[in-house]
Amino acid sequence: MAAQWRVSNGQREWLVTVDGTSVTVEGVDGEFVVMPRPDGRWSITHADQVSTASAARADQSIWTEMDGAGTEWQAHPASSRARHRVVDDSIRSPMSATVVSVHVTAGSAVAEGDPLVVVEAMKMEMPLRAPSACVVKAVHCQVGELVQPTTVLVELE
């Protein structure tokens, strides 16, 4: 029984129909035949070209690897309403990190590229910059705090 999936790498999304080992991708001619190999990898055949890839499922995503290059994918049933990337006006740390310095307060007017907060992880400093000219609505972190990718550090208007 065929099922439709929306598959995204965070930059682009594809509409994919899966029917057993046969897969079609909207806008692409021909079917992809996806078969497991005895060595735990996968073969994908399309237009007489066979490629080999690895795949693994994480909690919230799927990882694939081909020729040393890995990609993380989000897949949702095409009927689902969930969206993959929520674009909001919040600044978050890209990873678990410590706040090294805070350069703005609520009400600060900033230009595009201005540093808002600097965080440090794995001995590296990373400035988090304003995506565009705007006004800071609220600051939710302080120097020395350990923050997660889910933590909103700064809200913009």
Partner 1 sequence: MMRRVLIANRGEIALRIIRACREMGIRTVAVYSEADADAPHVMAAHDAVPIGPPAAAASYLNVPAILDAASRTEADAIHPGYGFLSEHAGFARRCEDRGLMFIGPPSPVIERMGSKTAARAAVAQAGVPVVPGNTPKSQEAADVLDSLARVGYPALLKASAGGGGKGMRIVRTEAEAAEAIDAARREADRAFADGTLYVERLIERPRHIEVQVLADGHGSTVHLFERDCTLQRRHQKVIEESPGPTVTPALRERITQAAVAACRAVGYVNAGTIEFLVSGEDFYFLEMNTRLQVEHPVTEAVTGIDLVRAQLLVASGERLPFRQEDLTMRGAAVECRVYAEDPSANFLPQTGLLLRYREPQGPGVRVDAGVREGQEITVHYDPMVAKVITSGETRDIAWARAALALRGFEILGLRHNIPFLLALLGHPDVRAGRIHTRFIEEHLADFTAPAGDDAALAQVALAAVMADAAMSGSASPGRAGETATGIDPWSTFGPVAW
Contact residues toward partner 1 (CB under 8 A) are: 3, 5, 7, 9, 14, 16, 18, 20-21, 23, 25, 28, 32, 34-42, 44, 46, 49, 51, 53-60, 62-73, 75-77, 94-97, 120-126
Three-class DSSP category at 136 = strand
User: Cα separation of 44 and 35, whole Å?
Assistant: 7
Can you spell out the DSSP letters for 124-156?
A: EEEEEE-SSSEEEEEE---TT-EE-TTSEEEEE
Q: Please identify, using beta-carbon distances, which residue of 44 and 156 lies nearer to partner 1.
A: 44
Q: Please identify, using beta-carbon distances, which residue of 61 and 108 lies nearer to partner 1.
A: 61
Amino acid in the structure at residue 147 = V
Structure-block tokens of residue 41: 């990898």
Contact 61, 74 (CB under 8 A): yes
Least Å from the CB of residue 18 to partner 1: 4
Least Å from the CB of residue 10 to partner 1: 11
User: Cα separation of 1 and 21, whole Å?
Assistant: 11
Q: Please identify, using beta-carbon distances, which residue of 114 and 138 lies nearer to partner 1.
A: 114
Least Å from the CB of residue 70 to partner 1: 6
Q: Please identify, using beta-carbon distances, which residue of 64 and 138 lies nearer to partner 1.
A: 64
Contact 135, 114 (CB under 8 A): no
Least Å from the CB of residue 88 to partner 1: 19
Contact 154, 92 (CB under 8 A): no
Q: Please identify, using beta-carbon distances, which residue of 55 and 138 lies nearer to partner 1.
A: 55
Least Å from the CB of residue 26 to partner 1: 10
